[in-house]
Chain A
Amino acid sequence: MTPAKFLYGVILVVVAALTPGCWDRREPENLAWVAAIGVDKGPQNDYLFTFQVLAPRALAGQSSGGSGSSGGGPGIVGKEQRGFEVYAVEAPDVVSALAITDGFIGRRLSLLHAKMLIIGEDVAQEGVTPVLAAATRFQEFRRTMVVAISRGSAHDLIEHVHPRLEADPAFWYELMNLWQKETSLVPVHRIHDFVINLEQPGLGASAALVGINQITPEELKQGEDPMPTDRGMPPSPGMALAGKLKRTGGDPVDFAGTAVFRGDRLAGFLTPEETRLTRALRGGFMRTPWSIEDPLDPSKRLVLMVREHRSPRKQIRRQGGRVHIDFRVFLEADIASIPSTLNYTAPNKRSLLERSVEEFVEREGRNVLRRTLNEWGADLFRIGNQLQGTFATNTEWMAFEWGQRVKEATFTVDVQFRVRRHGLTTKPAQHPPEEDER
């Protein structure tokens, strides 16, 4: 062996020995993994940061079936047990808050596996830019974290996130986001999307709306109707915002609706139904059950499994400073349920149903557009994104100030809807006529 080869051999051994550990050594057993971060207004012009931290030992016990005492069996978590701890710290920013937790938590908190950033309603109303400053710059934050806006305090909400069917709340957050993506009743926007939409001129950012369910059993029986109808029609299941879903049992936190931003401030809320319409107008609408008024029997609702036939088209006309948008939406559906005895699979009835759905989506779509564009000045439909293509340079586009003109935009909505399949039966359920009907 030549001296040079021996020298390089020594160097390789030294480098191999030093580099894997080196200065950045952080053993997993010294860390505590944060599942969700909550941000509320603090008492002194600062913030209250809440960290939902996974408790590995508790999780390990639950996943091995140790929850049997009060739960329903392996993997089912009892009410008394929880696989996480919640810590709250008052601090001017999240990085300082993490440092403060070192003073009373043995393990170092790590945000690397955090699933959700939950922003309290008060912070959202004042502006979220200071909170997002760390989220986009601090290396432990991942832009893939989902953003949600809490009705009321984010701290209280996180305290209530106690999944009954899951040991691991981080997994619960993932599952919630997974299904919400499919139903389109809640927008699943990650920090990356949220920040991009905030920064784009004129684009409106939006986030999932979450809340602690406050419906009491009495309210569930009598309750105020979130959408009173004067025709005896059952209310649409998509009209209640988070916290007001009519239900009992399960996880005490609701995901329902959208928090809409103008600039970095909260402008208003959209119901799950409006959220779905927003998705239909913007694109990316997945297969989702949609409860629609029966056109011939308004006391009943049909259920259609609706999906996008093709991406919606936006034709944008710009005349001087005014912008007009023609939306064309293409939807198709399978029939999932017909409570009445009417046969909507027959050609004449099917056309009637199709026209009825088209009118419904057009009418409600216009309402959503009026609220978001004309009332709040928030472009959730990527109109600005398409509009910028009508300018030759970025300077001209910036000078147009789309953000200031959103409220003046005019629009039309044209929906093309087709029933493609009838489900597993071809006719509605029939019942034999009663004696007095004979």
Chain B
Amino acid sequence: MGIAAQMRKGTDMIQHNVGVSGAVAMGVIFIAAKVFLAFPRTMAELGAQAAWLIVLIACLVSPIGWWGIRALLRQHPGSSLLGATEAALGPVLGSVANLMYFTFFFFTTFIVLRQFGANIVATVMPRTPVEASIFVLLLGIAYLAYLGMEAICRVSWLFGPFMLIGLAALLAGGYYTRHETNALMPFWGSGMGVVLGWGLVKSSLLGELLIFGIIAPAFRKADNLNRAVTWTIIISATVTVLSVIAYTFAFPHPASTAIGFPLLEVSRIIIGGRWLQRLESVFLIIWVFSAVIKLGVGLYGAAQCVAQVIGYPNYRHLLFPLAILIYSCSLIPSNLTQAVSWDAEILRNYGWTVSILLPWVTWLASELRGKGGERHDAS
């Protein structure tokens, strides 16, 4: 296979194949691991009692971005999203678009890495420098990304059920320990217009679905890709909505807007008698595993984008420099609050331009160029 064909498929897709279940597990962890961060609180700050409604609306809108990717991939069978973008927009504009995808993955990775690292310091290891916790996380992340998507999916499939069961137990335990009966009322929380508006703005909530565009050639059948994405959307949306609902029950408004580490605090309040308490130790295992997989996928996506842009056939060689860049950028926010606000106010407010708008613009351009080409041939 020539370099050009290899670049269209993506640099990791030659030897590796992924199954539906592994891809679903990977996708769910990549998307839903954000519930372990400040995400439930930031939603509560926007929607008050209707935080869950913002998440639900965002989840319903999010698949529109995937439909754009799917339409583009149908125009360019056998290509990855990156290859198809370059083919549709040409080498210059295509590279610019792929750099935008890179920015999405890179930003997601370093800002989430900083949050996970700082959370560990703030909650369980208060004397450890944040640089050390970030560095240790980064080692695992880089190694996972180095192993490639097949390994990531297999690890995700191995760990995914534990994450879902653990999370379900955590949410049920929190609800059992304490729940405010009417915590979801008033129904429209901050106001109908506000909730609907934020639901649309936060439509990049499932923006991480972009990764499926990048690994599309690794599926043996196109139908498998669609099945994987459908299940990922259903499970991720369910997990994120239920997490925000359970959090709101345990910490009703206005307390929900002031909790630094929402689901960690839910795990800390669980008490089912003398022998069933202090469950945060279980939560921490889920927390760290999810973080490593999520960040590993992010680093993998970022490296694939750069490899595509510079036409380099092996993304693995880019992991080390990218890991150093991610480490450096993760230390740019001066504090945890700033890192959370960058995530909520930059990534989640403008992320839709990359996860939804860009695939559709590319598809439209490809459509127009295709038709233009036909007209040119006819003349």
Contact = CB atoms under 8 A, between A and B. Distances in A.
Interface of A: 8, 11, 15, 19, 22-24, 139, 142-144, 174, 190, 192-193, 195-196, 199-200, 382, 385-386, 388-389, 391-397
**A-B interface, 3 closest residue pairs, ranked by CB to CB distance from nearest:** A389-B185, A23-B127, A394-B48
Given A144-B271, A193-B178, A19 B190 contact: no
Contact of B269 (A192, A382, A392, A394): A192
Given A11-B139, A142-B268, A199-B254, A386 B128 contact: no
**Prevailing SS type, chain A contact patch:** helix
B182 A139 contact: no
Contacts of A199: 254-255
Given A23-B132, A393-B191, A395-B191, A196 B180 contact: yes
Contacts of A8: 143
Contacts, number: 85
Given A24-B128, A394-B49, A394-B189, 12 more contacts: A19-B136, A24-B125, A24-B127, A142-B268, A192-B178, A192-B269, A196-B255, A199-B254, A392-B187, A393-B188, A394-B186, A397-B186
A22 B186 contact: no
10 contacts: A19-B136, A23-B127, A144-B268, A192-B178, A385-B181, A385-B182, A388-B49, A391-B185, A393-B192, A394-B48
B186 A396 contact: yes
Given A23-B129, A139-B122, A199-B254, A393 B190 contact: yes
B126 A24 contact: yes
B252 interface: yes
Contacts of B102: none
Interface residues of B, number: 37
Contacts of B48: 394
Nearest to B188: A393
Nearest to A113: B278
Residue of A11, A196, A200 with highest tally of chain B CB at under 10 A: A196
A144 B178 CA distance: 11
Nearest to A311: B181
B40 to A, nearest CB: 16
A326 to B, nearest CB: 17
Contact of A144 (B128, B132, B189, B277): B277
Given A15-B136, A22-B128, A393-B186, A143 B255 contact: no
Contacts of A388: 49, 182, 185-186
A24 B132 CA distance: 12
Nearest to A142: B268
A57 B127 CA distance: 29
Contacts of A386: 181-182
Interface in B181-206: 181-182, 185-192
B253 interface: yes
A351 B11 CA distance: 83
Nearest to B122: A139
Contacts of B253: 394
A388 B187 CA distance: 9
Contacts of B376: none
B252 A200 contact: yes
Interface in B120-151: 122-129, 132, 136, 139, 143
Interface centre among A11, A144, A396 (most CB of B within 10 A): A144
Contacts of B190: 393-395
Contacts of B367: none
